[in-house]
A and B are shown apart, each in its own frame.
Chain A
Amino acid sequence: MPVLEGRELRIVGFLCNWCSYGGADVAGVGRLTQPTDLRIIRVPCSGRIDPLFIVKAFLGGADGVLVSGCHPRDCHFSSGNFYARRRLEVLKGMLPVLGIEAGRFEYTWVSASEGQRWQHVVTSFTEQIHALGASPVKAVLAPEGPGLKPKGGDSAAA
């Protein structure tokens, strides 16, 4: 990573085993050029993704989170992505009230044969995150950041 130090952000991707992970694999086997900011976590189904996974990733310092599963009506378990769609949509609407821009989180559908589409998704999402810059979470939660200033110190001084 030192080569890209400061030029790369950290993006976490949750990919379903049956479609999007395969799609990403096809993109890799096809040697399609992709940005390197994304770290992939393979999950059994997009329905397995608890919205709290995404929150945890953001609080851990991720600059962006991408979720990708099978297209609607195409789920390996027939209905997992329908439930996921509702949960993720609610999460996307709620994140801004916490101070995390809605654009830092996206969910999409990519099938196992869509290597080209995967390349497009990764490239445009990475561009979107670079446009937003580093997540405010990291700065605020850093040991010297404002979020962690011990309260006792303030009142003792007052």
Chain B
Amino acid sequence: MQPLEDIKTKIREALPDLDCVIGWEKSWTPLSATPLFMRAPEDVDRLIWGPFNVNNPATYLTGFKGKKIGVLVKGCDSRSVVQLLQEKLVNREELVIFGLPCKGVIDVSKVTAKTGDPGLVKAAEFKGDVLQVTTSKGVTEIPFSEVMADKCVACQYPNAIISDHFAGDPLPPSMKPDPAEEQLAALAALAPAELFEHWAGVLNKCIRCYACRNACPMCVCRDHCIAQSRDPHWISQEHSVREKIMFQMIHSLHLAGRCTECGECQRACPVDIPILALRKKLNRVVKETFDYQAGVDPKATPPLFTFQVEEANINERGW
């Protein structure tokens, strides 16, 4: 793949000035790639690009603050990078951004729904637009469109929004309708009591591993997360669905006006709870109220970091 070779050359050229460059390499499981931290020129050979690169490398950036690093991004990852820059959580001078056009990534849950236990998958390979999955039972061929992550179906930013080095021809944004609209409409159709019962039901599965938080590029408090603090004591150790709902609300509301909908929280969830819907709804509220989308403009101020004396879209309710 020519663009990948071009970007590898660019990374090798830039590497002497950088602490490391973050990308992806082949993982121990055939269905997913794993983050790669390139420190030496020979590490760059292991770099891969394609639909298995699901992880968001922007998650690691705040951990490297103070060091000069590089990062290879998909379009959605670049939105997280932009949002981090907007909030001054990373410095632009300390960051070299590499970009490649992205045709979408797979949703491993969708693949394993068709092939069974991911542990039994021996090999997975793309032949054009068809994913060939080899298990002990034989080879299954699945069209890419059936296993594409939901966020990629209606992707508006297939190319890095900001980049220092971009290789390949930029791709056009998708014209397909967003599957999220349907999901949110299905939730909105439920009566309030049923809806709350739905959330209590799905969140009851939560094991409070905090993988959703740890995978989130915008969750930057790390060891100071209020979910694990005793002072203030927001949630207890009690194993109840009330604490689980509260944790999800903490995560969602701390992302209000900041979430770039990279979908890492839902992907990282080991018990497949559809928690992204909460963030998506919140983003729609922010979009309607402040006409703002997170991580698109490096110069914009996130809406909850500022105010206007006369708000355009807030209707002061008279009593």
Contact = CB atoms under 8 A, between A and B. Distances in A.
Interface of A: 51-52, 55-56, 59, 72-73, 79, 82-83, 85-87, 89-91, 93-94, 96-101, 106, 108-109, 117, 120-121, 124, 136-137, 139-141, 145-149, 151
A98 B200 contact: no
A73 B304 CA distance: 18
A82 B309 CA distance: 7
Nearest to B313: A89
A51 B253 contact: yes
> What does DSSP make chain A's interface, helix, strand, loop or mixed?
helix
Interface residues of B, number: 47
Nearest to B288: A93
Given A51-B256, A55-B249, A97-B282, 10 more contacts: A51-B253, A87-B304, A93-B289, A98-B245, A136-B196, A140-B197, A141-B241, A147-B200, A147-B201, A147-B241
Contacts of B309: 72-73, 82
A94 B250 contact: no
A140 B257 contact: no
B197 A147 contact: yes
> What does DSSP make chain B's interface, helix, strand, loop or mixed?
helix
Contact of B307 (A83, A97, A121): A83
- For the complex of A and B, 4 pairs with smallest distance between CB atoms: A99-B196, A147-B200, A99-B195, A93-B285
Interface in B162-216: 184, 187-188, 190, 192-201, 204-205
B246 interface: yes
A139 B242 CA distance: 12
Contacts of A148: 200, 204, 240-241
A55 B188 CA distance: 19
Given A87-B304, A124-B319, A99 B282 contact: no
B26 interface: no
